[in-house]
Amino acid sequence: MSTPTPGRVVVVGAGMVAHRFVSQMIARSPEGAWHVSVVGDEDRAPYDRVHLSEYFTGRTADDLTMDPSVWEDQRTELVTGDAVAAVDRETQTVTTRSGRVLAYDHLVLATGSWAWTPRTEGTDLPGVFSYRTLADLEGLREYVALRTERLGRPLHGVVVGGGVLGLEAAAALQTLGTAATVVEFADRLMSVQLDDAGGEALRVLVTDRGIEVRTSTGATGLSAAGDGAVGTMDLSDGSRIPADVVIFSTGIRPRDRVAREAGLAIGERGGVVVGAACHTSDPAVWAIGECASFEDQCVGLVAPGNAMADVVVDRLLGGVATYSPAPEGTKLKGVDIEAASFGDVFGLTPGALEVTFADPVARTYRKLVVSDDARTLLGGVFVGDAALYSSLRPLLGRSLGADPSAFLAPEGGAPVLGGDLPDDVVVCSCANVTAGTVRGAVTEHGCTSLGEVKTCTKAGTVCGSCVPILTKIVNTTLEASGISVSRAMCEHFTMSRAELFALVRQDGLRTFTQIVAAHGTGRGCVVCKPVVASILASLWGGYILDGEQAALQDTNDRALANLQKDGTYSVVPRVPAGEITPEKLIVIGQVAQDFGLYTRVTGAQRIGLFGARIDQLPEIWRRLVDAGMESGQAYGKSLRAVKSCVGSSWCRFGVQDSVGMAVRLELRYRGLRSPHKFKVGVSGCARECAEARGKDVGVIATEKGWNVYVGGNGGFSPRHAELLAEDLDDETLVAVVDRFLAYYVRTADKLQRTAPWVADFPGGIVELRKVLVEDSLGIAADLEAEVARHVESYVDEWAQTLDDPDRLSRFVSFVNAPDQHDPDLSYTGVRGQVRPARPGEPADNNPVIARTLEVRK
């Protein structure tokens, strides 16, 4: 039986679901005689809306563009910036606003949805935005920059709507330097996805991030400032708040205008009515994605839209696939806060049981909803730590295989999930990929890496939350097939970093040349050279820019400073525990003033000076070192800082001297080179003001001594540290931290933070506790001795540099003209300081002069 020929297909809408449709047509019918025209009203190719907020953290519009290779197929056509104005079902044609007429045999509506804004006075004022498209975000960024300059102060931003997208928008405002308030009409954040306890846990985390939260109230009106732009917002609780910029994130509505005007059946709550085959009321017209109403429901998620696209492709090619809604799951992104849920969040299933675990100190909340016999997983809620989300969600509707409480316990006593999941379990809901399909990519299609499997199956290419479990399945399948899972650092070293570290330590090798000769090949690369440099520094110490080691270092280490966007560098002196004398503050201030450096207090309780030319670094550091300061090593893969609260010295709640302990730890571990940077926090009581559980090593005071937590981090994938040992005296605490850091340096992979290292450690925190606290391997004394040798041999890198004219000679802008500095640098004034000038702004090459060129009015 021959495969049917779809003929001419026109897709109205050029979003993610339309892209999925085209890519599946190509994959399923690589030689078919068909033609697909995709027509979109935005002036750009389909882009990744799921990661839209990453536009504010460095990704460009091009970075967000979805795979453009689908448009290279001669059977595909992409029309952008030309919305469809009308559909004539009798003649089977569509007409665009520009007058273009396209004939179709099959019409696929993928028009998506539009951002709904409540009818509130003032929503048409300048400074009011939606948060839906790249154009929205581009306009928002431009407006915030211009408005900030005009007002001469940071803005007060308000986001109306406390759902997932609203919280992303609030985080985006913060990234743009704007204070953010979230206004939510419901009594909690993410009210659709979280229960009461989860919403409260999320509120605490969001507030800790510096975002103000106003729940159980709504926006009743916006008022203009003196120049006509939005300035204030009135709330239903009678209050008025400043609102220099406003984002409405109050839900979406299906874009069904074209379908309505074409006479297609529309759902009671909007959307184009479709059946299980995704047909509309016209057999030649289909609808997929957010514009489609199935069983009177329109779903604003990409996974159901992709599933619908797959159904239509299958039907057009002669299949009989049907669409069946899968239980929804949601994970908060782009906010540096973990919150996720899936399934029956509220326990509405008859007989459902709810198993919960809350840790107010760690600010985590977890809940599993299970059947009345506690065997079948019905739903889950995770706030503060969503590590279980990706592994448990595929088991929705299936047996957990263990006591539910074991999954929620702090020790994580439940079995690790992943490699042994049944073949029919969907592990990537966005692309509707099962565990069996992933295994088939390895066993049938010859994929030998996660990247190849992602390309083959499209799993893990949308939201990315399934990547951890995909990795486990891929590696398990490779090993079961007799294929070794490569842990090679690069083409020059076939072993892992940990294996190479052990060999270098065992053989006493001291140079890259010796290491390559003994255990590698070639001349090295940008991957292995910095790793070897770190290993040598960890084992033997010494000045990192001496001899052939200089060529191994990355950009920052070569300058002993962090490179900035304009080619200048930052200067960050060490300030142990944030404690600094007035005399040192005066020196820092005078240096910043004399060199025209931008100055700010960092999140690590240090003072950063920005805008130093490379040729100025020695002179700046000479003055700082003479004043008794040393490098804070903000540039190195080493200890960054030890953050502390004031502890029992000043705080009435403190039970231990957190500052004293933090200073002791910082002076002990300063300069300790490691696989990645690491941070330490010390809190003087359980109130946790130093945020110690968000650090690689967290120390929290108790009435009896200290608790030590390990493996935490913030950043893109936040993770709370896990309890390693409790109620330790000062000396035992230092010994345990010594062991942890030395063991991490020995055994972690290249560029691996302590969080994934602890998470991946065989046996988890329980086994790690046996090794480091109970000394089950008998290596504790050796680990402590390694740290002791480091402490004894430590010398400040900048002090070493300043004492040697040869070392100083590398700090020039131009090797062939050492007395000249970069003429392309230019600065302008901002809030009494300087920043790199933008095109068209008043600027000067001298930052001291530029400070007087204030551009903010």
247-273 pLDDT, tens per residue? 999 999 999 999 999 999 999 999 999
- Please give the DSSP secondary-structure letter assigned to residue 700: E
Residue-wise pLDDT tens digits, 762-806: 888 889 999 999 999 999 999 999 999 999 999 999 999 998 888
Burial label, 857 (beta-carbon count in 10 A; 0-12, 13-18, 19+): exposed
Annotated binding site for siroheme: 689
Q: Which residue has the tokens 């997932």?
A: 164
Helices (H), 463-520: 467-480, 497-507, 512-519
According to the model, what pLDDT value does residue 816 have?
A: 66
Residue-wise pLDDT tens digits, 119-137: 899 999 999 999 999 999 9
Contact criterion met (CB below 8 Å) for 41 and 81: yes
Instruction: Give the CA diameter of the chain.
Output: 88
Residue-wise pLDDT tens digits, 50-59: 889 888 887 8
Contact criterion met (CB below 8 Å) for 728 and 704: no
pLDDT at 10 over 60: yes
Q: How confident is the model at residue 456 (pLDDT cuts 50, 70, 90)?
A: confident
In Å, what is the CA distance from 83 to each residue of 107, 260, 282? Answer: 15, 16, 21
Q: Give yes or no: residues 682 and 786 share one domain.
A: yes
Q: Give yes or no: residues 230 and 270 share one domain.
A: no
Q: The tokens of 184 are what?
A: 């939510």
- Please give the DSSP secondary-structure letter assigned to residue 296: T
Q: Up-side HSE of residue 408: CA atoms within 13 Å toward CB?
A: 21
Angle between helices 435-443 and 450-457 (to 10 degrees): 110
Q: Give yes or no: residues 244 and 260 share one domain.
A: no
According to the model, what pLDDT value does residue 389 have?
A: 87
What is the tally of structural domains in the chain? 6
Residue 850 lies in a domain: no
Closest CA to 33 of 51, 55, 8: 8
Residue-wise pLDDT tens digits, 42-52: 999 999 998 89
- Across 311-320, 431-440, 477-486, 747-756, which has the greatest mean pLDDT? 311-320
Q: Give yes or no: residues 690 and 783 share one domain.
A: yes
pTM, to two decimals:
0.60
Alpha-carbon torsion angle 588, 589, 592, 597, nearest 10: 110
Q: Give yes or no: residues 77 and 194 share one domain.
A: no
According to the model, what pLDDT value does residue 717 have?
A: 60
Domain interval for residue 240: 128-250
pLDDT at 79 over 50: yes
pLDDT at 109 over 50: yes
Residue 510 lies in a domain: yes
Closest CA to 467 of 477, 479, 458, 480: 458
Residue-wise pLDDT tens digits, 481-497: 887 777 788 888 988 89
Contact criterion met (CB below 8 Å) for 331 and 430: no
183 has which bridge partners? 160, 214
Over the Cα atoms of the chain, what is R_g?
29
Judged by DSSP in three states, 23 sits in helix
CATH of the domain at 269: 3.50.50.60
Q: Give yes or no: residues 58 and 134 share one domain.
A: no
Residue 842 lies in a domain: no
According to the model, what pLDDT value does residue 339 have?
A: 93
Tell me how far apart the alpha carbons of residues 416 and 767 are, in angstroms, rounded to a whole number.
14
Domain final position from 377, 394, 417: 417
pLDDT at 411 over 70: no
Annotated binding site: 645, 651, 685, 689
Q: Give yes or no: residues 194 and 277 share one domain.
A: no
Domain final position from 250, 275, 305: 250
pLDDT at 414 over 50: no
Tell me how far apart the alpha carbons of residues 568 and 811 are, in angstroms, rounded to a whole number.
12
In Å, what is the CA distance from 41 to each residue of 96, 262, 665, 717? Answer: 9, 18, 58, 35
Q: Give yes or no: residues 413 and 539 share one domain.
A: no
Which H or E element spans position 302? helix 302-316
Average pLDDT over residues 402-421: 64
According to the model, what pLDDT value does residue 283 have?
A: 94
In Å, what is the CA distance from 406 to each residue of 232, 403, 412, 696? Answer: 49, 5, 6, 25
Q: Give yes or no: residues 263 and 152 share one domain.
A: no
pLDDT at 412 over 60: no
Annotated binding site for [4Fe-4S] cluster: 645, 651, 685, 689
pLDDT at 416 over 70: no
pLDDT at 842 over 90: no
Q: Which letter, b or e, does each residue of 816-849 get, where b requires 16 or more Cβ atoms within 10 Å of its Cβ?
A: eeeeebeeebbbbbbeebbbbbeeebebbeebee
Percent helix, strand, coil in the chain, to 5, is 35, 20, 45
Q: The tokens of 716 are what?
A: 């893109």
Judged by DSSP in three states, 816 sits in coil
Closest CA to 727 of 691, 760, 766, 700: 700
Contact criterion met (CB below 8 Å) for 825 and 613: yes
CATH of the domain at 432: 1.10.10.1100
pLDDT at 855 over 70: no
Contact criterion met (CB below 8 Å) for 84 and 107: no
Q: Which letter, b or e, does each residue of 206-240 get, where b requires 16 or more Cβ atoms within 10 Å of its Cβ?
A: beebebebbbebbbbebeebeeebbbbbbbeeeee
Tell me how far apart the alpha carbons of residues 599 and 472 are, in angstroms, rounded to a whole number.
45
Determine how many CB atoms are found less than 10 A away from the CB of residue 325. Answer: 13
Judged by DSSP in three states, 259 sits in helix
Burial label, 701 (beta-carbon count in 10 A; 0-12, 13-18, 19+): buried
Q: Give yes or no: residues 152 and 232 share one domain.
A: yes
Provide the mean pLDDT of the chain.
Answer: 90
Residue 479 lies in a domain: yes
705 has which bridge partners? 702
Q: Give yes or no: residues 647 and 750 share one domain.
A: yes
Q: The tokens of 597 are what?
A: 């450096």
Residue 576 lies in a domain: no
Determine how many CB atoms are found less than 10 A away from the CB of residue 540. Answer: 14
Q: Which residue has the tokens 């600027």?
A: 843
pLDDT at 1 over 50: no
Residue 856 lies in a domain: no
Determine how many CB atoms are found less than 10 A away from the CB of residue 401. Answer: 13
According to the model, what pLDDT value does residue 415 have?
A: 46
pLDDT at 211 over 60: yes
Closest CA to 245 of 152, 179, 150: 179
Residue 847 lies in a domain: no
Q: How confident is the model at residue 422 (pLDDT cuts 50, 70, 90)?
A: confident
Looking only at the bridges linking them, the beta strands covering 272-274 and 292-294 are: parallel
Residue 594 lies in a domain: no
One-letter identity of residue 720: H
Q: Give yes or no: residues 733 and 748 share one domain.
A: yes
- Please give the DSSP secondary-structure letter assigned to residue 328: P
Tell me how far apart the alpha carbons of residues 795 and 545 are, in angstroms, rounded to a whole number.
14
Domain final position from 510, 534, 553: 553
Tell me how far apart the alpha carbons of residues 843 and 827 are, in angstroms, rounded to a whole number.
5
